[in-house]
């Protein structure tokens, strides 16, 4: 009977070792995914800041040129038309980069939450493995 109990415990240990290996691999993959998302976040933030600065400059030019609307007007000069189109284009760019940045931040947070969960599971399985190993 004792040998059967020991054999079952060894099977449990083997299964736990496999599960621990899988969780450690998953945690390593999550770590890489988080690092990539954090790098993307930095890149997107720099790009967003660049577009916002350009938008600010374009708005200053529009203000100095007394442009009061982005809608085309019959008396718009080619310079005014280009300025309006530039502002609209920059507004679209800022919107797109803000969305990308927001999605990337959500990815970072979701990955970190998953990493916490996997770490907790890993810790629990290691404690369980130690307890079973002690009983042998």
Please give the pLDDT value at position 136.
Answer: 78
Please give the pLDDT value at position 87.
Answer: 96
Rounded CA-CA distance 61/9 in Å is: 77
Question: Which domains occur in the chain, in start order?
Answer: 2-135 (1.10.287.620)
| Mean pLDDT of successive 10-residue stretches along the chain, which has 136 residues | 87 95 98 97 98 96 90 92 95 98 97 98 97 88
Please give the pLDDT value at position 52.
Answer: 98
Please give the pLDDT value at position 6.
Answer: 86
Sign of CA dihedral 57, 62, 63, 64: positive
Residue 104 and residue 58 in contact, taking contact as beta carbons nearer than 8 Å = no
Please give the pLDDT value at position 3.
Answer: 87
Q: What is the pTM of this model?
A: 0.79
Query: At 74, is the secondary structure helix, strand, or coil?
Result: coil
């Amino acid at each position: 009977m004792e040998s059967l109990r020991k054999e079952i415990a060894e099977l449990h240990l083997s299964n736990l070792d496999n599960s621990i290996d899988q969780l450690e691999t998953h945690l390593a993959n999550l770590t890489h995914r988080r690092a990539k998302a954090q790098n993307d976040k930095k890149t997107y933030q720099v790009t967003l800041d660049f577009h916002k600065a350009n938008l600010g400059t374009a708005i200053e030019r529009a203000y100095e040129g007394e442009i009061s609307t982005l809608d085309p007007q019959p008396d718009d000069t080619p310079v005014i038309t280009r300025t309006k189109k530039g502002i609209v284009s920059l507004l679209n760019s800022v919107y797109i980069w803000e969305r990308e940045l927001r999605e990337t931040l959500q990815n970072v947070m979701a990955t970190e939450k998953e990493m916490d969960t996997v770490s907790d599971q890993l810790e629990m399985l290691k404690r369980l493995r130690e307890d079973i190993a002690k009983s042998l």
